[in-house]
Homo-oligomer: A and B are copies of this chain.
């Protein structure tokens, strides 16, 4: 029996030479589904492999270990946040509105990607390279996995410095103000995603309230 010509990238079968990266993507997609469905701990290497349709050791051809898979997913999702914040940057809003939009985007992202957010900002296993960095995006090595969180933070800092340059009076030095602002946003996101079943009052009011609190809190 002669096989028909396989598609360039088969889903179930063996990959053709040089197309391992498509398998890598399949693994990421399956892992993302499972992480979101069952959580990190409950998602096993074998379950991911089963869903992809390969053996468990095959995953180790593309990722060094389980955490590396999650890390890659984090960077992937954080990329969207950075994109969104950049696009807000480009809209040319007034400083106050731009900061507010950025903050809202940040919160929205955290609430829509709680696990990725938790892993990069609350896991306590934060890789060392996202710490001890400057506050400018270009000072951060974006190629290192896990660096995207720091980039997102740096974007916020730049927003504030731009606002200051545009004449907005800040109650604190820009760095301090940015840190306070981020802490407020982070506190909201962290609280909501770590206690999703707590009887919080209206979520939208909390978001607007926090945005008011941080903008009023740092701008004179």
Within the complex, the shortest CB–CB distance from A51 to chain B, in Å, comes to 22
Q: Which of B134, B173, B197, B199 contacts A201 (CB 8 A)?
A: B173
Q: Does B194 lie within 8 Å of A187, measured CB to CB?
A: no
Q: Does A180 lie within 8 Å of B213, measured CB to CB?
A: yes
Q: Does A197 lie within 8 Å of B131, measured CB to CB?
A: yes
- The count of identical subunits is 2
Specify the main secondary structure of chain A where it touches its partner.
helix
Q: What B residues does A183 contact at CB under 8 A?
A: 184, 187-188, 190-191, 206, 210
Q: Does B172 lie within 8 Å of A205, measured CB to CB?
A: yes
* Residues of A near any B CB (own CB < 8 A): 39, 41, 118, 121-124, 126, 128, 130-135, 171-173, 175-176, 179-180, 182-188, 190-191, 194-202, 205-206, 209-210, 212-214, 216-218
Q: List 14 A-B contacts (CB under 8 A).
A: A128-B197, A131-B196, A131-B197, A134-B199, A176-B202, A176-B206, A176-B209, A179-B200, A180-B188, A180-B206, A184-B187, A184-B213, A190-B190, A212-B217
